[in-house]
Amino acid sequence: MTDRMMRDMLTNPILAGRGTPPRVVIDSEFFSNKGTQAINRDLITNRLRVNLNRAAQGRLVFVTREHVGMVQQERDLKRSGTTDVGTTGVTRGMAGADYRLTGEIADENERNARTGMIERYNQITFEMVDEESGAIVWSGQYEFERAADDDVMYR
Amino acid sequence: MNAKWFPGVVAAVSSALACGCAVTPTAESSSNGNGLEAQSRSPSGHGIATEAQRFASGQPDELRPFFRALYIEGEHNAVLNFDYLGLAALESGQYEISAKAFDAAISRIEAIYANNPSAQKAKSLFAEEKVKDFKGEPYERAMTYFYRGLLYAHSGDYQNARASFLSAESQSMMSESESYQSTFGLMDYLAGWASYCDGDDSAAAELGARAATLQPQIFGVLSDQVNFIGLIDVGTGPVKYGIGQYHEKLAFKASGRTPGVADVHVSSATLSAPTLAADLNFQAMTRGGRPVDAILNGKAEWKSNTEGASTALTAAGYTATLEGAVTNNQNLQSAGEIGMVVGLMGGLFAKAMTPAADMRTWSSLPAAIVLVAGQLPSGTAPAMTFTVAPDGSPASASLAAHAGRCSIAWGEAPSRLESAAAQVATPVLAEGRHEAANAQLRSYLETTFAGGQAASIAEQPGSAVRSEAP
């Protein structure tokens, strides 16, 4: 799924076709689990960010919001003269984000008590939201369905 | 065949019948009812027991018996032992261990056992249902998700708490009969509460309304938007027993009278009156028939018919043999002897048929769950004390947390740590065909629950282990 998402995003001209690469936040902060299965949301968003970052080849710039404190700490050291300014220069502020990924996972389950057949339909919706205007510049929806029947000894 | 041969044959066959050791895979139950095949000491058994002792000695004192049982019994009883461990860890405040244990139980409950060898073996005429890997009955599976949901709420992960409570409700509905569908409104109510805590007020209202529809007398009068939930496990959970000539049908009964909660205090909170919100005895007893009952019933019929035919053949053969001996009719005597032997062999087969239902039980579950709901001042961690009626002394919550918008507390009375430890005190090795899976489980235990330093490998007094027959 994350591979498909990555391809979808990189073909979107607003996201990956600009002269100045847009800045994007991808983390699990606004990715909600509304399904009936506990999941590790970070697994999905981390994989997506890492793969997208590799494939984007500079067409997208990824910005962290999880480690703002860490960045601020280093900025303070540079500005207090405790350290020099490094090799990439200093900026007036940290990078502001143009877009942020939001998402939701939901599912529908059906169980046939007589046959033991369990059917699970999962739907994951992602939207890339413009952090200034609120416009949704990209969306993707991914579905998968699984069905299996447990042994009669366990029904 | 002649008259001189006959007493010897009868003696040998009778002896075999009496001890049941010729072809019967003798069942001998352990204290936790896992009842694997006849056990005797073997070097490999000692090796695993020693390793188990080393592994358990690096774990918190109060949880050692549970880790030891898990290590020794392997996959066969993994869900049951993870459940025991998870609940004991929750009660003793070891929340990380508890969460990992329940996660491990849930991953096995959710596994599809379509071609599982032990499940196939359990269908055999000559194997009891309890040879299958334990997954638990629907109420036991539901409670696994319930406790995991509490732990998610404790850590402030209300989305996964909601998912767990919804899964608990779904597991409780695994009834074959449509007339026994959901009565576990507490799980919907808690899922609604978790939604509220997550800031999803519309889902909170929807799930609260669903709980109110299922059990209006309980949840119809409770607000679905409260920032504090207190839950108290009371009493001792349902008991499983077998009914039918060979205990082939699984039935449930209450282990005693379900106590109520007389009084609950939570610091600075405005609370609803304590309500018995979930009755596990009722959950167990309204399960309806299991598809597996038909298989066990078939086994019971086979056993009964074989026993009947065997008795008739043996009796007829005995009469013919006697008559032949008295009348000096060699042919009649020989035919009688053959009839007796065939009858006695049939008896052996009948004895080897084992239609009994699986009665392994997660016995540290409560009889019921009492709920209080209300409002706490924002940002307050709850300090809950409660008294179980009629004569209980005040007890404190084992789990209490404030995270984000909400607070939660959970407690239990009476404590089930000691009785649960007693249930797992005599683990039984179940290597057989499970060796690879058990080795994988033990490796998982060593890495996931890497507790402390390895301690003495000497066995502690009273730490008996029964090992598998060579």
Three-state SS sequence of chain B: CCCCHHHHHHHHHHHHHHHCCCCCCCECCCCCCCCCECECCCHHHHHHHHHHHHHHHCCCHHHHHHHHHHHHHHHHHHHHHHHHHHHHHHHCCCHHHHHHHHHHHHHHHCCCCCCCHHHHHHCCCCCCHHHCCCCCCHHHHHHHHHHHHHHHHHCCCHHHHHHHHHHHHHHHCCCCCHHHCCCCHHHHHHHHHHHHHCCCHHHHHHHHHHHHHHCHHHHCCCCCCCCEEEEEEECCCCEEEEECCCCCEEEEECCCCCCCEEEEEECCCEECCCEEEEEHHHHHHCCCCCHHHHHHHHHHHHHHHHHHHHHHHHHHHHHHHHHHHHCCCHHHHHHHHHHHHHHHHHHHHHHHCCCCCCCCCCCCCCCEEEEEEEECCCCCCCCEEEEECCCCCCEECCEEEEECCEEEEEEEECCCHHHHHHHCCCCECCCHHHHHHHHHHHHHHHHHCCCCCCCCCCCCCCCCCECECC
Residues of B in contact with A39 (CB under 8 A): 160, 163
Q: What is the pLDDT of residue B222?
A: 87
Q: What is the pLDDT of residue B167?
A: 92
Residues B398-427: pLDDT tens digits? 999 999 999 999 999 888 899 999 999 999
Residues of B in contact with A118 (CB under 8 A): 112
The reply to whether the predicted model has a pTM over 0.90 is no
Cβ A152–B291 below 8 Å, yes or no? yes
Instruction: Decide: B69 and B427 in contact? Cβ < 8 Å.
Output: yes
Residue in A closest to B123 by C-alpha: A153
Q: How does strand B399-403 pair with strand B275-279?
A: unpaired
Residue tagged 């490094």 (tokens) = A86
Residues B306-332: pLDDT tens digits? 666 666 777 777 777 777 777 888 888
Which of these ranges, A150-154, B28-32, B91-95, B190-194, has the smallest mean pLDDT? B28-32
Q: What is the pLDDT of residue B177?
A: 52
Q: What is the pLDDT of residue B20?
A: 36
Q: Please, what is the angle between helix B435-448 and helix B64-73, to 10°? A: 150
In the structure, what pLDDT confidence band is assigned to residue A99 with cuts at 50, 70 and 90?
Answer: very high
Q: How does strand A61-62 pair with strand A23-25?
A: parallel
Looking at the DSSP assignment, which residues form a beta bridge with residue B240? B252
In the structure, what pLDDT confidence band is assigned to residue A92 with cuts at 50, 70 and 90?
Answer: very high
Residues B170-193: pLDDT tens digits? 887 765 554 445 678 999 999 999
User: What mean pLDDT comes out for the span B274-301?
Assistant: 72
In the structure, what pLDDT confidence band is assigned to residue B12 with cuts at 50, 70 and 90?
Answer: very low
Residue in B closest to A119 by C-alpha: B112
Residue tagged 């032949």 (tokens) = B324
Q: What is the pLDDT of residue A78?
A: 95
Q: What is the pLDDT of residue B402?
A: 92
Q: What is the pLDDT of residue B146?
A: 97
Which candidate, B71, B202, B87, places its Cα nearest to that of B145? B87
DSSP string spanning chain A?
Answer: -HHHHHHHHHT-HHHHS-SSPPEEE-SSTTEEE-SSS---HHHHHHHHHHHHHHHHTTSSEE--STTHHHHHHHHHHHHHTSS---SS---SSPPPPSEEEEEEEEEEEEE-TTT-EEEEEEEEEEEEEETTT--EEEEEEEEEEEEEE--GGG-
In this prediction the ipTM stands at 0.79
Residues of A in contact with B152 (CB under 8 A): 38
User: What mean pLDDT comes out for the span A115-138?
Assistant: 90
State in Å, rounded, how far the first CA of chain A is from the last one: 32
Residues of B in contact with A37 (CB under 8 A): 163, 167
Cβ B167–A111 below 8 Å, yes or no? no
Q: How does strand B368-375 pair with strand B395-396?
A: unpaired
Structure tokens at B194: 């978790």
Domains of chain A are 2-154 (3.40.50)
Which of these ranges, A120-129, B96-105, B317-326, has the smallest mean pLDDT? B317-326
Average pLDDT over chain A, rounded to whole?
A: 88
Q: Rounded to whole angstroms, how far apart are CA atoms A100 and A129?
A: 5
Q: Rounded to whole angstroms, how far apart are CA atoms B7 and B110?
A: 56
- Side chain identity at residue B422, one-letter code: A
Q: How many contacts (CB atoms, under 8 Å) link A and B? A: 77
Which candidate, B333, B307, B187, places its Cα nearest to that of B246? B307
pLDDT over 70 (residue B13): no
Which of these ranges, B108-122, B215-229, B276-290, B424-438, has the smallest mean pLDDT? B108-122
Q: What is the pLDDT of residue B299?
A: 57
pLDDT over 60 (residue B397): yes
Exposed, middle or buried, B443 (CB in 10 Å: 0-12/13-18/19+)? exposed
Structure tokens at B421: 């430890």
Question: Cα B9 to the chain's mean position, in Å?
Answer: 44
Residues B149-176: pLDDT tens digits? 999 999 999 999 999 999 998 887 765 5
Q: What is the pLDDT of residue B159?
A: 96
Q: Is any Cβ of chain B less than 8 angstroms from the Cβ of A37?
A: yes
User: What mean pLDDT comes out for the span B43-52?
Assistant: 80
In the structure, what pLDDT confidence band is assigned to residue B353 with cuts at 50, 70 and 90?
Answer: low
Phi-psi region of A110 (alpha: psi -120 to 50; beta: other; left: phi over 0): beta
pLDDT over 90 (residue B68): yes
In the structure, what pLDDT confidence band is assigned to residue B124 with cuts at 50, 70 and 90?
Answer: low
Which of these ranges, B13-22, B126-135, B433-442, has the smallest mean pLDDT? B13-22
Highest mean pLDDT among A39-53, B90-104, B305-319, B391-405: B90-104
Exposed, middle or buried, B434 (CB in 10 Å: 0-12/13-18/19+)? buried
Q: Rounded to whole angstroms, how far apart are CA atoms B76 and B127?
A: 14
Which of these ranges, B112-116, B220-224, B328-332, B359-363, has the smallest mean pLDDT? B112-116
In the structure, what pLDDT confidence band is assigned to residue B463 with cuts at 50, 70 and 90?
Answer: very low
User: What mean pLDDT comes out for the span B198-204?
Assistant: 92
pLDDT over 60 (residue B37): no
pLDDT over 60 (residue A7): yes
Comparing CB atoms, the residue among B119, B148, B174 nearest residue A153 is B119
Let me know how long chain A is: 155
In the structure, what pLDDT confidence band is assigned to residue B428 with cuts at 50, 70 and 90?
Answer: confident
Burial A40-68 (b: 16+ CB within 10 A, else e): ebeebbeebbeebbeebeeebebbeeeee
Comparing CB atoms, the residue among B112, B120, B163 nearest residue A150 is B112
Q: Is any Cβ of chain A less than 8 angstroms from the Cβ of B425?
A: no
pLDDT over 70 (residue B271): yes
Q: Is any Cβ of chain B less than 8 angstroms from the Cβ of A151?
A: yes
Burial B338-364 (b: 16+ CB within 10 A, else e): ebbbebbbbbbbbbbbbbbbbbbbbbb
State in Å, rounded, how far the first CA of chain B is from the last one: 36
- Chain B 95-134, residues with CB within 8 Å of chain A CB atoms: 106, 112-116, 119-120, 122-123, 129, 132
Between residues B460 and A64, the one the model is more confident about: A64
Average pLDDT over chain B, rounded to whole?
A: 78
Comparing CB atoms, the residue among A38, A41, A113 nearest residue B152 is A38
Q: What is the pLDDT of residue B4?
A: 44
Highest mean pLDDT among B223-227, B248-252, B327-331: B223-227
Q: What is the pLDDT of residue A146?
A: 79
Q: What is the pLDDT of residue B174?
A: 61
